[in-house]
Amino acid sequence: MSKFIQFNTRDDFYRIAIDRIVFLAADKNYTVLQLSNGKTLTFTFSLQKMQEFIVASLGVDAKCFARVGRSHIVNLSYVYHIDLLKQKLVLYADSEALEYTIPVSKEALRGLRSLFMK
């Protein structure tokens, strides 16, 4: 059974299964949420506020997400390839055959890789 996160804005309500969220990206004071089916949603709060909201809403289940650098939060189950040399992270949504490449610093990639090496 999937765990859901709920977003309630002034005009909209979203209920999204956390296993459908591939990553979240900062866009100034907005957060863009990328879903595994290719759709994106934009929310009017910063990535830091989104991270706090995810932890508060999901509790222990929030551990499936990791902050990668200043501008991304990724769902660890979608991590496919960490390329330190080219400073990129590749996320792959197998069910939809969609691939997302994110530019990330070497330091952030090393931190992410260490999560998987434990």
DSSP, collapsed to helix, strand or coil, labels residue 10 as coil
Amino acid 117: pLDDT: 87
Q: Tell me the domains of the chain and their CATH numbers.
A: 4-117 (2.40.50.1020)
Q: What is the pTM for the complete model shown?
A: 0.92
Asked if 68 contacts 108 with a C-beta cutoff of 8 angstroms, the reply is yes
pLDDT digits (tens, 9 = 90+) for 6-27: 998 888 999 999 999 999 999 9
